[in-house]
Structures are given as C-alpha cells and as structure tokens.
Amino acid sequence: MLLLFFVSPDQLNTLQSFILIILPVMNEVYLSLGSNEGERAGWLNKAIELIEAKCGSVLKKSALYETMAWGKTDQADFLNMAILVNTKFSPIKLLARIHEIESMLGRQRAIKWGPRTLDIDILLYGDAILNLPELTVPHPYMQERRFTLVPLNEIAPDVIHPALQKTIAELLESCPDKLEVSPIVRS
C-alpha cells in the first residue's frame, strides 16, 4: 500500500512546482509460527530471520510454547510462538512471501493439519477483515486455539480482534480449547 503526500516547494525549499512523495504504508501484522518436525526451535529461529529479510521488521516475539498437536493428534508436539511484524506488503503479497519461506524451510502440504517443519499463519493484519479464496483475516480459528492465543496474548493482550470486538486477553479467557500450552524455559 502507498500513502501519497503533496508537498509544496515552500515546504521543501525547492523549485516552483509541486513534488509528489511516495511513502510505503507500514502495517502491523501478527503471525503465528509453529513446528513439530526435526529441530523445532531451529526452524522457528530460521523462519524469523527469513521473515525479517523478506517481509518486514519483527517488532515483538513471544516466548516459545509447547503444545500437543491440534486437529490431527497422532503426531509430535508443536513448538509455537507469535510475532509482530511491520510490513509494507499487502495481505496477499505477504501470504505469498510466507508460503515461499515455508517452502524454503521444507514445508510440504500433504496432510491437512499434518506434521510440518514450519507453519506460519497470518492472525491479524492491522484492523483488516478479509474473506478471500486464498486468505481469511483475522485467522478464522484463532479464537478457538490456545496454542495461538497464549503466545499472542503475551505480546498483544489489549489488541482487539476486528471482527469479534474482543481483546486477545478476552478471547483467551473464553477459549473453548483446553489443550495445555506450556512455556519453554531456556537456560
């Protein structure tokens, strides 16, 4: 997205005509990251490096949390976290870059909710509400998943879900999911 400003010559002490300045509009986006294959923490750290390089600045990171698999439960436990990214990319372009990062780190989409080296979901994209064939924002299941809400609550408890009009803390409090979400203590 672009923000356009018209600046008069007097304001810039320049020539006589108007000057058009184009600045990218930055958007705050909350992402959920998860992994349950191989060196799980390593995949998440590499994903953050690639997000910084390809998507925008990472402004906040939650701790790592371990959770049993959700949806398809006959697989290894996940490590999950949430991050806040400042991006200039539209939701669709950001999604394409996220899919590229997942592919670079070995993600294969063979089984729905199956094991994966890396899963990155767009939870919130500013106050946007989108329902497109390839992307729904806010994430349609975030309010039903403690593994998403617990890390997100750590970095954004007062952020309001634009469709449900509840804070992340309120969503966590009323979440029907009872799976335990345990912080990973690093020594």
The residues annotated with a catalytic role in the active site are: 107, 116, 119, 121
Cα 107 to its chain centre, rounded Å, is 17
Kindly report the number of other CB atoms within 10 A of residue 53's CB atom.
10
Cα 10 to its chain centre, rounded Å, is 42
User: What DSSP element (H or E) covers 61?
Assistant: strand 56-61
Cα 12 to its chain centre, rounded Å, is 38
Distances (CA, A) of 177 to 36, 82, 139, 166: 19, 18, 16, 17
Looking at residue 144, what DSSP letter applies? G
DSSP class per residue in 70-114: SSS-SSPPEEEEEEEEEE-S-HHHHHHHHHHHHHHTT---SSTT-
Closest among 84, 83, 82, 93 to 24, alpha carbons compared:
93
